[in-house]
Amino acid sequence: MRRIGIIVLDIILLAVIIASVAYLVLGRDKIFARGIPNLDFIPGQKSSSEITAASKNIPVQEVVRTKAVEHEIKGLYLTSYSAANSKKVDQIINFMKGSDLNAVVIDIKDYSGQISYTSQVPAVVDLKTSRNTIKDLPAVIKKFHDNDIYVIARQTVFQDPELAHKKPEWAVKNSATGGLWLDYKGLAWMDASKQEVWQYNADIAKEAIGLGFDEINFDYIRFPSDGRMKLMQFVNMAGRTKAQVMADFYKFLADNLKDEPAYISGDLFGFTTERTDDMNIGQQIEDAALYFDYVCPMVYPSHYPSGYLNLKNPAASPYQVVKFALTKGEESLAVVKDVRAKIRPWLQNFNMGAVYTPAMIDAQIKAGQEAGTYGYMLWNARNVYSYAPGK
């Protein structure tokens, strides 16, 4: 009998051990199913809002993250491919040392719509819209932080062919064919009136903040600007103008990200600083300034038409173009009640319309300073930078 009792006790003990292990494993799976990134790869001071365990019996380390102290950002744009290349990252860090530059802008979702890291956002996982270009994104962010470089995530929103083909019911429809509407480049766009698209992008932004980014920079926050415009079909305008839809979207982002320890910025067409209409794309700087920390007009001189300010070739006169555009922007925001945003422009650092010398880059920076804007970001699509301002 004594032997039987011992055997019974052994069986009970084994059953308890198996049940405990199974409980822990299932609990862990539940945690990751919610889209919380692996805490082992998050710098100790870089976390999103409070993280709770899926089970009270499972200890989850709470990682406290504080919002970066606001300072004047002077940044460079980097593609996800550049950020994925350790040699390129080291090159950029060394290039920035001893200069005025103190920030980088990294693509986490570019014009293709593909997420550049392995996302745990449920919709991204379900739709397979990530490609894991940057293998260890938190480590890349940490390397920049270790060198006192502020890190911004650039996230395109409504130009998103990847999501459009995976979720066509959320995309702009062609009223003639019933299929996807495409712009002149053959790219599909998401329906800016669909709140499901808003939520998809807000969830990605929250995850990126949790990975350590100091700011989320939203690009293509507008309706399409080219293509067979009369054939575009939107399903949820509800009597709103395009500008009203975009204003509602800006507010949605602000409300959903207000408790996150990061800043938010929005990219705008350069002409928003001086136009009083929405240019049929829904963008008005006065609306955006109510909800973003920074509005970022793309005042590239090469993008202004011949005859602008009576200039035959605006690209060859960067100081005049940028000074006028940004001065008008500051004047526009000066009369807006409860304005939240500062203007931080994108400036031209590429050859188009003229060969851009260090003096021409400095001329744009000087123009922005004189207009009263707050910092700048330099754009070069190929990430070829040969001049670091202030160095």
| Tens-place pLDDT, residues 261-278 | 999 999 999 999 999 999
Contact 342, 373 (CB under 8 A): yes
pLDDT of residue 333: 98
Q: Are β-strands 150-156 and 74-78 bridged in parallel, bridged antiparallel, or unpaired? A: unpaired
Q: What is the pTM of this model?
A: 0.84
3-state class (DSSP) for residue 52: coil
Domain housing 170: 67-379
pLDDT tens, position by position, 90-124: 999 999 999 999 999 999 999 999 999 999 999 99
- Total domains, the chain: 1
pLDDT tens, position by position, 35-62: 323 322 233 333 333 333 333 333 333 3
Q: Which CATH number does the domain housing residue 181 bear?
A: 3.20.20.80
Lookup result for tokens 């950020």: 83
Number of C-beta neighbours around residue 204 at 10 A: 23
Torsions phi, psi for 78 (to 5 deg): -130, 135
Any domain includes 325? yes
Any domain includes 221? yes
Which amino acid would we find at residue 33? A
Any domain includes 367? yes
Any domain includes 57? no
pLDDT confidence band for 65 (50 / 70 / 90): confident
Any domain includes 19? no
Any domain includes 297? yes
pLDDT at 139 over 50: yes
Q: What is the rounded CA–CA span in Å between residue 301 and residue 313?
A: 9
User: Which alpha helices (H) appear in the chain, and where do they start and end?
Assistant: 2-33, 80-84, 86-96, 122-127, 137-146, 161-166, 195-210, 242-257, 285-288, 318-334, 358-371
The secondary structure of the chain in percent helix, strand, coil, rounded to multiples of 5, reads 40, 15, 45
Beta bridge partners of residue 379, listed in sequence order: 348
Any domain includes 52? no
Any domain includes 250? yes
- Distance from chain centroid for Cα 185: 22
DSSP state of 305: P
